Amino acid sequence: MKVQYPISQFYNRYFIPTVDLVGTAPSLIIMRQVLEHLPNPRDFLSAFHYLLNNDKSPGYLYIEVPNSSLSLSLSRFSDFYYEHCNYFTPNTLAQLLARCGFEISIVDQGCNGEILAFLCAPAMHSNYKLTERINAIKSFIQMNSSQGKKLVLWGAAGNGSALLNMCHIDNSLIEYVIDSDQRKQNQYVSGTGQKVVAPHSLIGYSPDIIIVTSQLHKTTIKNDALKLYGSTCTVITTEEIQYA
């Protein structure tokens, strides 16, 4: 008896995960000798995480890439050429997958150690939540800025600077950062360029939204902001943005 196999479909075009697999629930995605050619592997893997992390049945991702460990240890300079954008070792690929929200099940090295093979699946509790938080804050700021609202950050210390830089929020979206520390006033946030000002200096500016970054003094800052700028100003903490 002749066995009939389903006919595979081939597409002669670039693959876009969020377009080609939208609405599907794949149980396994095989990616062989692909990731090293992509200029933005993290964005690509994050899209697969979204597709595989479904309620029906979370799927697996199998990845093969060249192992650069031998290339580096043996100084094989000819292994580095224009077709490859990325060069992975077991450690760097594992870190990339973890940052994209995957939990690694199996790691293998084939072809005498020349090939890395990883089998992974979306982790139930992963750093992917960090990406979701960053995207939520970025979307909140971009949406309100596009509506013509004036947004201000309160807190120029570590929390405020980290938020602006990790979310890539420059001074075209948020022009000012408020801080009560006189040593910081009239300085600028490193990397994103916002001017640091005293609380009272923005009374005439009339901010529409103030984002509070301080964890220790957020209640006091909220009260001070409402007294200075009135009830028409929305004062929100970073934790509340995901629910806004």
Element (H, E) at 129: helix 128-146
CA–CA gap between residue 222 and residue 213 (Å, rounded):
11
Same fold, 17-126 and 129-243: yes
The pLDDT value recorded for residue 125 is 46
Q: Which of 13-22, 23-32, 105-114 is predicted with the least confidence, judged by mean pLDDT?
A: 13-22
Q: C-alpha 62: how far from its chain's center? A: 22
> Which superfamily does 129-243 belong to?
NAD(P)-binding Rossmann-like Domain (3.40.50.720)
Q: Binning pLDDT at 50, 70 and 90, where does residue 242 land?
A: low
**3-class DSSP assignment, residue 70:** helix
Q: Note the CATH architecture for domain 17-126.
A: 3-Layer(aba) Sandwich (3.40)
The pLDDT value recorded for residue 179 is 93
**3-class DSSP assignment, residue 62:** strand
Question: Which DSSP letter does residue 88 get?
Answer: B
For the chain, the structural domain boundaries read 17-126, 129-243
Going by C-beta distance under 8 Å and a sequence separation of 6 or more, which residues neighbour residue 196? 156, 176, 177, 178, 179, 184, 185, 186, 187, 188, 189
Question: Which DSSP letter does residue 50 get?
Answer: H
Among 106, 168, 96, which residue's Cα sits nearest to residue 126?
96
The pLDDT > 70 percentage for the chain reads 90
Q: Binning pLDDT at 50, 70 and 90, where does residue 129 land?
A: low
Going by C-beta distance under 8 Å and a sequence separation of 6 or more, which residues neighbour residue 198? 178, 179, 180, 182, 185
The pLDDT value recorded for residue 83 is 82
> Do the strands 115-122 and 60-66 form a parallel or antiparallel pair, or are they unpaired?
antiparallel
Nearest 5°: the CA angle 54, 57, 59 is 80
| CB 56 within 8 Å of CB 25 | yes
Task: Characterise 94 by phi-psi region: left (phi > 0), alpha (psi -120 to 50), beta (else).
Answer: alpha
Report the mean per-residue pLDDT for the chain.
84
pLDDT in tens, 180-233: 999 999 999 988 999 999 999 999 899 999 999 887 788 899 999 999 998 889
With 0-12 / 13-18 / 19 or more C-beta atoms within 10 angstroms meaning exposed / middle / buried, residue 40 is: exposed
